[in-house]
Amino acid sequence: MPVFNLSTTPLRALNEALHSVPEGSSETAFEVTNPRGSHAVAVGIKGPLCVEVQGSVGYYCAGMNDGGTVTVHGSAGPGVAENMMSGTVTIEGDASQYAGATGRGGLLVIKGNAASRCGISMKGINIVVAGNIGHMSAFMAQSGNLVVLGDAGDALGDSLYEARLFVRGSVKSLGADCIEKEMRPEHLEILADLLAKAGITHVKPEEFKRYGSARKLYNFNIDNADAY
Residues in the chain: 228
Residue 218: its pLDDT value, please?
Answer: 72
Residue 216: its pLDDT value, please?
Answer: 87
**For 75-130, what is each residue's pLDDT tens digit?**
999 999 999 999 999 999 999 999 999 999 999 999 999 999 999 999 999 999 99
Reduced to 3 states (helix: H, G, I; strand: E, B; else coil), residue 185 is helix
183-203 per-residue burial string, b: 16 or more CB within 10 A, e: under 16: eeeebbebbeebbeebeeeee
Binned at pLDDT 50, 70 and 90, residue 49 comes out as: very high
pLDDT over 60 at 228, yes or no: no
**Global pTM?**
0.95
Checking phi first, is residue 107 left (phi over 0); if not, alpha (psi -120 to 50) or beta?
beta
